Amino acid sequence: MSALPPAVIWHDLECGSYTADLSLWRELADDAPGPLLDVGAGTGRVALDLAARGHDVVALDADDELLAALHTRARAAGASVEAVRADAREMALGRSFALILVPMQTVQLLGGAPGRAAFLACARAHLSPGGLLAIAIADGREAILDEDGVVPEAPRPDVCELDGVVYTSHPLAVVDEGPAVRIERLREIAAPGRRAVVERDVIRLESLSAATLEQEGRMAGLAVRERRAVPETDEHVGSTVVMLGG
Ligand SMILES: C[S@@+](CC[C@H](N)C(=O)[O-])C[C@H]1O[C@@H](n2cnc3c(N)ncnc32)[C@H](O)[C@@H]1O
């Protein structure tokens, strides 16, 4: 078995290969006149990329195991990334940032409107004057029906092999529950000479439109700037990036 905790392996497998948003985060980071805060940084897909480009990055996540992997990878790469364990809805870091970015729909995991309001208030308190809060959201229902109302092809499973053990994440179902889209995966671990271990993973991605998030941003005292977009790929739906100014 791998020395990596299963949470890290699955996170890397299911999120780590996504690159469609990186050019936008790089552009925003290059324009930011100060440090960056990556909210829900996971194992550092975005934070490590931006740090490697010379940015001063703080990576915040609620998950200790993911942050430990991020920290190890930053050290191995000689990158300076400060990893902070905190709930984004309660963060109090005592410093401010020119850019706060929230990639990959993390804002749709915060517990609905009350959780987002708490996060937006915290984010505002951490923005430098003129700073920018950029939040990616996606409509999970696009994985059920595309814009022409057609059911898209089932995405391929994500597969990796570590120390002879094969980890496979099979997309199983995407179900519109109204307030959220339920995304189900079957995670399979196959080690040589052993029965495969299979477990079901369920994530609920809260339904959220850009207009709603912008209105919530206004209520939190933030100014609404022009939205940006991350294009869809063969494997991933596109995102809208809501831009809120301090
Ligand atoms: C979809 S992953 C995105 C990971 C990474 N940003 C990326 O783009 O690859 C969502 C991340 O948000 C973190 N997260 C979820 N709720 C959080 C919260 N309330 N506060 C801080 N982090 C949270 C999870 O632990 C997870 O690492």
Instruction: Please give the distance, rounded to the nearest whole angstrom, from the Cα atom of residue 43 to the centre of ligand 1.
Output: 9
CA nearest to 175, candidates 197, 215, 207, 136:
207
* Burial state string for 46-74 with b = 16 or more CB within 10 A and e = fewer than 16: bbbbbbeeebbbbbbbbbeebbbbbbeeb
Looking at ligand 1, which atom is closest to the CA of residue 88?
A: 20
- Residue 145's pLDDT is 52
Domain 142-204 indexed as CATH 1.10.287:
no
Q: How far apart are CA 88 and CA 220, in angstroms?
A: 15
Instruction: Please give the distance, rounded to the nearest whole angstrom, from the Cα atom of residue 150 to the centre of ligand 1.
Output: 30
Q: Is the pTM of this model over 0.75?
A: yes
- Residue 153's pLDDT is 66
Q: Is the CB of 103 under 6 A from ligand 1?
A: yes
Instruction: Please give the distance, rounded to the nearest whole angstrom, from the Cα atom of residue 36 to the centre of ligand 1.
Output: 16
Pick the CATH number of 6-141+208-245 from 3.40.50.300, 3.90.420.10, 1.10.3720.10, 3.40.50.150: 3.40.50.150
Each domain of the chain, given as residue ranges in start order, spans 6-141+208-245, 142-204
pLDDT tens, the chain, 246 aa long: 568 999 999 999 999 989 999 999 999 999 999 999 999 999 999 999 999 999 999 999 999 999 999 999 999 999 989 999 999 999 999 999 999 999 999 999 999 999 999 999 999 999 999 999 999 999 877 666 555 555 566 678 999 999 999 999 998 888 889 899 998 999 999 999 999 999 999 999 999 999 999 999 999 999 999 999 999 888 788 999 999 997
